[in-house]
Structure 1
């Protein structure tokens, strides 16, 4: 089950680029609401590698730049690229195939589960 991006990003409206949702410079209150600082950190020096997201992943970039080339149909002319950088809150859906090109050393928080937004459990009567 995919996360409800409307709830993750509300009240802001993210940019949707080829199914990847990006919110540039989210507020500190939004980051705190999502619990971003409690997520694991991933770091990388510049390098390039293919990747398939096995789960929907939400990430917040602390440092660096990454060029992500989306490969939907394995045809070079149909590949789409976007740049993610420090200050971006990003949701990449499950099963998205990409080539990651870390162009500047990157440091990001990431979360690979559905339960990003706090949910209320029903009251027991």
Structure 2
């Protein structure tokens, strides 16, 4: 089983942030076990195919999506994060979505379980505070 320490947990969180900011559903889905179980808001998903389909729908709706994740806690094969992301809909309304995720990892270090609680706040474009990181 993975046994995270502060450094490896931070690395895993940054890798997840980078993957999600790619907005590439296939890339993101590869970080999960083939039978991974998700709860995202009130939606329940199982397996990479459902995860990829969900992310495809998500990023079609959530335009100019930009995410930040922060390590909250870790132990053995589990990591907890808090996150914020901003996006706008096809009408130009901006939102800040924020919440918490609990992750559980399989022995191969792929995520086998993800539970996300998310809230949305309508904001104006001038209230934005999350932007893409500069490329290095």
Same fold (TM over 0.5): no
TM-score after normalising by structure 1: 0.25
Between Structure 1 and Structure 2, which shows a larger proportion of helix residues? 2
> Does 1 or 2 have the higher relative contact order (CA < 8 Å, sep 6+)?
1
